[in-house]
Chains A and B, each alone.
Chain A
Amino acid sequence: MGFKQENVDEPIKERQEEFSTHPSPVKKSDIDKQNLAAPVKSAVDKFQLVPEFLKVRGLVKQHLDSFNYFVNTGIKKIVRANDRIVSSIDPSIYLRFTDVRIGQPSVMVDGIGEELTPHMCRLSDMTYAAPILVNIEYITGSNVQKTIEQKNDVVIGRMPIMLRSCHCVLHGKDEAELARLGECPLDPGGYFVIKGTEKVLLIQEQLSKNRIIIDTDKKGRINASVVSSTEAWKSKTVIIMDKEKIYLHLNQFSSMIPVMAVMKAMGMESDQEVVQMVGRDPRFSALLLPSIEECASYGIYTQQQALEYLERKLKKSTYFGAFSEKENRVTTILRDVFIANVPVRQHNFRPKCLYAAVMIRRMMEAILNKDAMDDKDYVGNKRLELSGQLVSLLFEDLFKTMITEVSKTIDAILAKPSRSSRFDFSQSLGRDSITVGLERTLSTGNFDIKRFRLHRKGMTQVLARLSFIATLGHMTKVSPQFEKSRKVSGPRALQPSQWGMLCPCDTPEGEACGLVKNLALMTHVTTDEEESPLISLCYCLGVEDLELLSGEELHTPNSFLIIFNGLILGKHRKPQHFASAMRKLRRAGKIGEFVSIFVNEKQRCVYIASDGGRVCRPLVIADKGISRIKEHHMKELLDGVRTFDDFLRDGLIEYLDVNEENNALIALYEGEATSETTHIEIEPFTILGVCAGLIPFPHHNQSPRNTYQCAMGKQAMGNIAYNQLCRMDTLLYLLVYPQRPLLTTKTIELVGYDKLGAGQNATVAVMSYSGYDIEDAIVMNKSSLDRGFGRCIVMKKLSATNQKYDNSTQDRIIRPQRVGYDSERMQILDDDGIASPGEIIRPNDIYINKESPIITKGPLKSSMGLSDSDYKPSRQTFKGPEGETSVVDRVALCSDRNSNMSIKFIIRHTRRPEVGDKFSSRHGQKGVCGTIIQQEDFPFSERGICPDLIMNPHGFPSRMTVGKMIELLGGKAGVSNGRFHYGSAFGEPSGHADRVEAISETLVKHGFSYNGKDFIYSGITGCPLQAYIFMGPIYYQKLKHMVLDKMHARGSGPRVMLTRQPTEGRARNGGLRVGEMERDCLIAYGASMLIFERLMISSDPFEVQVCRVCGLLGYYNHKLKTGICSTCKNGDNISTMKLPYACKLLIQELQSMNIVPRLKLTEA
């Protein structure tokens, strides 16, 4: 054993060498006994960490963490910062919030709080929200007597609760309990239920705040900009190099300001000091010189002069808040707006000057060396804003609004000279403004917060419930903040720093390509962390305070600046020591695990970040290339005595953000680690996201194919959730017999796709057949379809409300007539006038026999209530595809927000595949069903295997989806030996993907050819086919695009009122347009009569009376039976002619604009 222990840490290679270099027989026998019996020491299989990570963190943990942070910490901070409502009339009257918390999700029904479950909300169109409870302390009493009263648990509004967050009823529930609550255990949560619809607050990507970014502007000028964001103010400060001089650009100033003037205004009167602050390097001084000279040329030498100069440059109209008169406006701006993130304490502008100097220095470095430019697309310069942060902004705004409202009402009460009743502060709280504001913003997605100058649309989206994967994919979607400028390619390109953080495959095609991204499997997004303990810790670890340093000392050669969350703390003489000390503390759990320490050698800075929104991921720590995770750790994990958090706590694993990754040398596999290696990846396939993780062997495919599949996987039909049949979605696509893919990946198992699959394993023959398979069409076997392949269920929701009206009348639902007129269409109605479940519903059937009162406004005629004649029928009829039989699946009754009865019907339609339905494999190979052929005509093998579908081999050469071929091989091997084969991305070295060699061996063992090709007979002639056919199972997805929903034709039909032309679109039974290009063809061909027929006769023919004299349109007088020109006032020279109605309309519209088009008629 001793021998083993000694060598445990050695890499395998060295070990093998040892075997060969010691050939002595004695030693050999020794090795044999001790070593060969022991298991081969391979790299520790760390895969098990991934499911453990996902178990702890979940797939949408970033959303949950962020929301939990807001609910537990953020909301308290906001309330603490604004805890007083003081009357402006009588300052002694005040209200103070002592505490705030969120209660259990509930709804008030007739004054009684009733517990809510998310599924209840979904079904009855409610908002899943919990009361915001505050403890208050306030002054009551009359003018003379004032007493302090306290009240606990006052409700000030309702906060929509994110599902599965710590305040959700689903939190910490096991599978059985979830099932009892009507919830799917595989559902990730992380969304809100607002008015019955599931809403996701998308992850927003933006440039990081409070950081210096060096960039070039449109004119190619190099600038340094800081977007400052503090609780008090948001601003953007830009220092720009223009014509060799340095300027400051700030919105509050009308033009650019020489930067030296700003420095002087802040008290840096000595030029020497500024030069020292920037750095004494002569190159810097040379660059600074023109600016100094310019400043001098304006005659600015003292602070006073500078302030006066700046005063003149101020924008005139800036209504810059309420600042005290004794202070200069410029000083205030410099204090509060200019680099707002650097605080000015007791009029000490020094930190700000230093910060500005550092900005200038960084900019100069970039001028001297283009490499020092910052990359805006670099993920380390990005922050992801999550739902918690967004809701917190929203809440803060609403809370402040409420406070001002309350103080206004209080003032109004106090202003009254004679107050009769004792006024109660607490009564004026608890209005609806917060509840309504939150609900409205989350349901519309329009964030319009003036206080923070946040105006964004489409922040929330209805959660995609098309398939399980669509839901997951939607939760990990990252949407960009800046507008989609079409031309630049930079932001769209794949950034190397996205590695492991954002999925390289999953991005939409077209407009948003590369801008919308998706998180990778193991990504974590940080939340804010307390700053002050970290700052004091930094000082303890030897950071020299900025206050104590002169400008000269700042940039001494052997010291690094310490920058904490964009704030310069000071400098350190031993940056590496400092960084490693901080990291040690982090690994020991003394500081937060998500704090990042990044030593930037080039900028000579140490960046410490604890702010929220950074993306990071876990990595295994290695010491000199040797993984800290040993076999026994993994065994403990498997035995369940060790969790992911234990790994973290024991310093075996740590989270690295994108910046800190630059200080690490990360080995992909343990075997590849060298002595410089600091970290080892957990599993390579985790660089992909959820959607790309479904693809087997994606690393063998051409990369766009994986991107296509990521988009298509979201359209595949299958299972949505375990509770799919209890849901009331507007549209639901389900597969009748969904299957688990024969060729799985580890990701599939991790996300639960094997439980909620969206596809079927089809036996595919890659061959040409019948000519109906050109252009990616597939030929399907009719018998397979008969047996249920590709069969799907489409569920649609119909709804009706029993409306109540102002004059206390309401709709009624009445018993259907069983005989007589319309009884035919009412057959499916139950005696209560509502369609009963299980009935077959055909187009034009009435599904609710509703009547509404004729008079809905004004007082009623009789007090006796309404008689039958006071109602008019307002039945609702089903409109569906003709000739198809749909079934009423479920009927649900509930009362909506306005306490009207709302009736929902789910209409179910089972469809078997037909020609034109769209299918796809998991490799971005989509195709429509070209034809359906009888089984006996299908080719068969001598084993009796007959394919389910035939795919044309032309699909392969140009697409290069080798992964699909390997999937076929693996699937075939899997079917023959009864084992699910794996095809995880990059999985071959770690054994998470089967090698083709191994698959071939299995195939041969079961009597197939190693290459997956079979000898096949034609089903039509019975003769063998000329070639061997590549045949085996491939997982096929049925996509939601089906012919039945799209096919459309029309003879005559509805017309648009205005133009009298046929309507447009299938939904309106519109016509098919002969467009410009079609028209051009006909003109070129010379088919004038056809054009005439298409463009007028069959479109909008109209007979007009034209006056031959004035050329204007007249009208037809039906009494006189002649045409009359209304301009000439006679009917003498009237001709009748046909015109497109649109032309007549144009003429009249032009006339209305004082343009007179006259028609000149000639004999034809």
Chain B
Amino acid sequence: MEGASYQRFPKVKIREMKDDYAKFELRDTDASVANALRRVMIAEVPTIAIDLVEIEVNSSVLNDEFIAHRLGLIPLTSERAMSMRFSRDCDACDGDGQCEFCSVEFHLRAKCLTDQTLDVTSKDLYSSDHTVVPVDFSDSSGYDASEQRGIIIVKLRRGQELRLRAIARKGIGKDHAKWSPAATVTFMYEPEIHINEDLMETLSLEDKRSWVESSPTKVFDIDPNTQQVVVVDPEAYTYDDEVIKKAEAMGKPGLVEIYAKEDSFIFTVESTGAIKASQLVLNAIEVLKQKLDAVRLSDDTVEADDQFGELGAHMRGG
């Protein structure tokens, strides 16, 4: 029964790591794994987002649903999300916001009393839990902190008022994009570029230059000293085939050969700020592992249900 083991040992090399941005290489694995990781990051890593809004007073220009929708899309810091319960699985409460295991309550009170337009922003949301607050972008370098007033929810003119109670819950991006922690998750195959140096030498400098410039991105350059074409940034290559076409048009097919390495991927992960980009990757791996556990235990569905709840059911196509 035991087949040959296809086990591989993928390697991760981190290139760049900021709070909301990560770039890393994933090597020695398959596209399916890389894609699974990407998909989980987009759709299955849980975060906290406002899910229920009770509006007490709203005399603003935007209607209730409009504001509720906008509130939902505000990213909240969700480090706690992995340890929280889904409110549908929570036995301690009925999801009314009183329960600390599954929900966080927010309050917003704003009234404009001056003639100047009042911007109601995510900073005006008061959280019952100091670990779950609207994401603050002001500390990210480069911006003046005083100008950053959070995400605008609505603008009020004199006399208009907005008062509401909102409950944030844990959820995943599959249910609604507001729970997706990922702004951008993408990967590319690492290109492997071979320049046929002999053939390249047959080109004049002018030709080389025009060939180098035929690429819309700056992949190649000419060494100012040796006047040889060198690969400056292989990852800038967008698989657009422009250089290959150009080479053919110049009558030099085979001037360059470009392959995609089938087993190495360069990931770019940008987070919404709900969780750190690095944490996003780790959480994704965690969720992926849980899913694989569910697959392993799927013979015994009852047990799987006990252990993984919804996740197990989902794996069986629920």
Contacts and interface: CB of A to CB of B under 8 A. Distances in A.
A914 to B, nearest CB: 15
A1007 B216 contact: yes
Given A838-B58, A1023-B31, A941 B177 contact: no
Interface string B146-183: 00000000000000000000000000011011101000
Contacts of B186: 940-944, 1017
Interface stretch (B3-11, B78-86, B121-129, B236-244): B236-244
Interface string A990-1030: 00000000000001100111100111010111111000100
A154 interface: no
A1020 B186 CA distance: 13
Contact of A889 (B63, B174, B187, B242): B63
Interface string B32-50: 1011101100110000000
Contacts of B239: 1015, 1024
A815 to B, nearest CB: 24
Contact of B31 (A910, A935, A1021): A1021
Interface in B256-313: 260, 268, 270
A942 B34 CA distance: 13
B238 A1021 contact: no
Contacts of B177: 782-784, 786-787, 935
A333 interface: no
A725 B216 contact: no
Given A944-B268, A1015-B238, A1021-B35, A838 B188 contact: no
Contacts of B64: 838, 887
A1024 B65 contact: no
B35 A934 contact: no
A787 B63 CA distance: 17
Interface residues of B, number: 40
Contacts of A960: none
B185 interface: yes
A896 B116 CA distance: 38
Given A943-B186, A1007-B217, A1022-B31, A1015 B240 contact: yes
A464 B43 CA distance: 43
Given A736-B66, A786-B178, A934-B174, A838 B55 contact: yes
Contacts of A1003: 216
A700 B188 CA distance: 36
A908 interface: yes
Given A887-B64, A944-B185, A1007-B238, A1021 B176 contact: no
A936 B238 contact: no
B43 A887 contact: no
B57 to A, nearest CB: 9
A788 interface: yes
B188 to A, nearest CB: 4
B69 interface: yes
Contact of A908 (B36, B43, B63, B173): B63
Contact of A942 (B39, B176, B188): B188
Interface string A917-950: 0000000000000000011100011111000000
A49 interface: no
A934 B238 contact: no
B43 to A, nearest CB: 5
A783 B180 CA distance: 9
Contacts of B69: 736, 788, 791, 910
Interface in B83-133: none
B61 interface: yes
Contacts of A1004: 216
Interface in A771-808: 782-784, 786-788, 791, 793
B29 to A, nearest CB: 11
B62 to A, nearest CB: 9
B195 interface: no
Contacts of B63: 793, 887, 889, 908, 910
Contacts of A1020: 35
A1022 B66 contact: no
A787 B216 contact: no
Nearest to B213: A1004
Nearest to A1008: B216
B270 A944 contact: yes
A782 B180 CA distance: 12
Nearest to A887: B64
A787 B55 CA distance: 21
A901 B242 CA distance: 73
B73 interface: yes
Nearest to B40: A936
Interface in B197-233: 216-217
Contacts of B173: 783, 935-936
Contacts of A1014: 238
Contacts of A1023: 31
A184 to B, nearest CB: 15
A889 B42 CA distance: 36
A941 B173 CA distance: 20
Interface in A939-982: 940-944
A1023 B265 CA distance: 11
A1157 to B, nearest CB: 61
B138 interface: no
Interface in A734-755: 736
A828 to B, nearest CB: 14
B196 interface: no
A790 to B, nearest CB: 13
Nearest to A840: B64
A838 B240 CA distance: 54
A910 B268 contact: no
A725 B61 contact: yes
Contacts of A935: 42-43, 173, 177, 180
B189 A887 contact: no
Contact of B242 (A934, A943, A1009): A1009
A296 to B, nearest CB: 86
Contact of A1009 (B31, B42, B184, B216): B216
Nearest to B34: A1022
Contacts of A1022: 31-32, 34-36, 38, 187
Nearest to B42: A936
A493 B32 CA distance: 60
A1017 B66 CA distance: 34
A784 B73 CA distance: 12
Contacts of A782: 177
Nearest to A795: B63
Contacts of B174: 934, 936
Nearest to B242: A1009
27 contacts: A736-B69, A783-B180, A784-B177, A787-B73, A787-B177, A788-B73, A910-B63, A910-B69, A934-B43, A935-B173, A935-B177, A936-B43, A942-B187, A942-B188, A944-B186, A1007-B238, A1010-B216, A1014-B238, A1015-B238, A1015-B240, A1017-B187, A1019-B39, A1022-B31, A1022-B32, A1022-B34, A1022-B35, A1024-B260
Top 4 A-B pairs, shortest CB-CB distance = A1022-B35, A944-B184, A786-B177, A783-B177
Interface of B: 31-32, 34-36, 38-39, 42-43, 55, 58, 61, 63-66, 69, 73, 173-174, 176-178, 180, 184-189, 216-217, 236, 238-240, 242, 260, 268, 270
Given A935-B177, A942-B186, A1022-B38, 9 more contacts: A736-B69, A838-B64, A908-B63, A935-B173, A1007-B217, A1009-B242, A1015-B238, A1022-B31, A1024-B239
